[in-house]
Chains A and B, each alone.
Chain A
Amino acid sequence: SQQGEEDPQALSIQEGENATMNCSYKTSINNLQWYRQNSGRGLVHLILIRSNEREKHSGRLRVTLDTSKKSSSLLITASRAADTASYFCATAPLGGYQKVTFGTGTKLQVIP
């Protein structure tokens, strides 16, 4: 079963614009991770945020976490055509790091 749900399911933007994706989850977590998947490829880890953190940055990526609302957002600034991919959030449960549960993903298209 999928723990998280990403919103929107699909997003199409122009190159240079910002893209925001949201993730909601159901149970208490140890950490939340965001991954990118290009078509036909495996997942690439982008950023991990612990449950006691509220915001994290990595290059053009900004992730926020609100544990009271059980939600997270991923912001990609100044998007590029190469950012076109599916983005998934994944949650690691309290007391365990090994079994992460993935959401349904947001398909991002960046138009050059």
Chain B
Amino acid sequence: DTGVSQNPRHKITKRGQNVTFRCDPISEHNRLYWYRQTLGQGPEFLTYFQNEAQLEKSRLLSDRFSAERPKGSFSTLEIQRTEQGDSAMYLCASSPDRGNQPQHFGDGTRLSIL
């Protein structure tokens, strides 16, 4: 068990550029989650996958955001035409497919928009 891995750890980009983050969950975990965390706040839910199916999306996830988990293993989160307000820590978590299980988090990708 190597834990949840996220890449890159840091991303600095200019406004208007596209960025993509990757998350590798714990291998036996069917559930995968994306969160966004801004300074001084708790994580805010963005979206959730059960295997390859994206089952829920937050209203925070505008049309510029898209997430995929094509083979039910790793997931990617893409932000198109980045804006200043997208600057945040993007966290990925995974959990087993049964009730009352905690989520295991990666160390996140910190996005800075210049």
Residues on A close to B: CB < 8 A? 1-2, 4, 30-31, 33, 35, 40-45, 48, 50, 88, 90, 92, 97-105
| Docked complex Cα distance between A98 and B94 (Å) | 10
* B28, CB-defined interface residue at 8 Å: no
Contact of A102 (CB < 8 Å), options: B31, B44, B104, B106? B44
| Docked complex Cα distance between A97 and B48 (Å) | 11
Interface hit among B61-69, B70-78, B80-88, B95-103: B95-103
B2: chain A residues within 8 A (beta carbon): none
> How far does the Cβ of A105 sit from chain B's closest Cβ, in whole Å?
5
Contact of A45 (CB < 8 Å), options: B43, B91, B103? B103
Q: Is the CB of B100 within 8 A of A42?
A: no
Q: Is the CB of B102 within 8 A of A102?
A: no
Q: Is the CB of B42 within 8 A of A48?
A: no
Q: Is the CB of A31 within 8 A of B42?
A: no
Q: Is the CB of B48 within 8 A of A98?
A: yes
> How far does the Cβ of A29 sit from chain B's closest Cβ, in whole Å?
11
Q: Is the CB of A42 within 8 A of B91?
A: yes
A sample of 8 cross-chain residue pairs with beta-carbon separation below 8 angstroms, ordered by A number, consists of A2-B42, A42-B4, A43-B91, A43-B105, A45-B104, A48-B102, A98-B55, A102-B44
Chain B, interface size category, equals 20 to 34
Closest to B104 in A: A45
> How far does the Cβ of A108 sit from chain B's closest Cβ, in whole Å?
14
Closest to B35 in A: A102
Known contacts: A42-B4, A42-B91, A43-B91. The answer to whether A102 contacts B103 by CB under 8 A is no
Known contacts: A42-B107, A44-B105, A98-B33. The answer to whether A104 contacts B41 by CB under 8 A is yes
Give the residue among A2, A31, A98 with the most B Cβ atoms within 10 A: A98
Name B24-50 residues within 8 Å CB distance of A: 31, 33, 35, 40-45, 48, 50
A35: chain B residues within 8 A (beta carbon): 105
| Docked complex Cα distance between A58 and B8 (Å) | 33
